């Protein structure tokens, strides 16, 4: 889950929890909002943890010797006129 999705879940959850006063048959929208906000916060924490690991430096083996390329001219082909 990315940062954008996490923020979206937080926003939708906050709207359902604090701004909507409707009732849907058998579903408590306040609880759904709190669950969405919790999922958004968890997503932000997980994204921060993953991005934090990616930014660590990793030691790599030294680069191999550069490859030498040789270009040879073919003399058996007549150039176009």
* Span 16-53, pLDDT tens digits: 999 988 888 888 889 999 999 999 999 999 988 887 77
Q: Which residues have a Cβ under 8 Å from the Cβ of 46 and sit 6 or more positions away?
A: 1
Taking the C-alpha atoms of residue 50 and residue 70, their distance in angstroms, rounded to an integer, is 45
The reply to whether 19 falls in a domain is yes
Q: Is 10 among the domain residues?
A: yes
Would you say residue 13 lies in a domain?
A: yes
Cα 80 to Cα 51: distance, rounded to the nearest angstrom: 57
Q: Does residue 76 or residue 31 have the better pLDDT?
A: 31
Q: Judge if pTM exceeds 0.85.
A: no
The domain tally of the chain equals 1
81 domain residue, yes or no: no
The pLDDT value given to residue 55:
61
Higher-pLDDT residue of 56 and 52 is 52
Domain containing 44 equals 3-54
The answer to whether residue 3 scores a pLDDT higher than 70 is yes
């Amino acid at each position: 889950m990315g940062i954008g999705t996490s923020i979206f879940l937080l926003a939708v959850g906050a709207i359902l929890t604090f701004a909507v006063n409707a009732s849907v048959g058998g579903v408590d929208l306040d609880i759904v909002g709190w669950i969405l906000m919790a999922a958004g916060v968890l997503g932000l924490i997980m994204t921060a943890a993953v991005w934090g690991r990616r930014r660590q430096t990793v030691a790599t083996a030294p680069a191999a010797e550069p490859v030498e390329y040789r270009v040879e001219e073919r003399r058996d082909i007549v150039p176009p006129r």
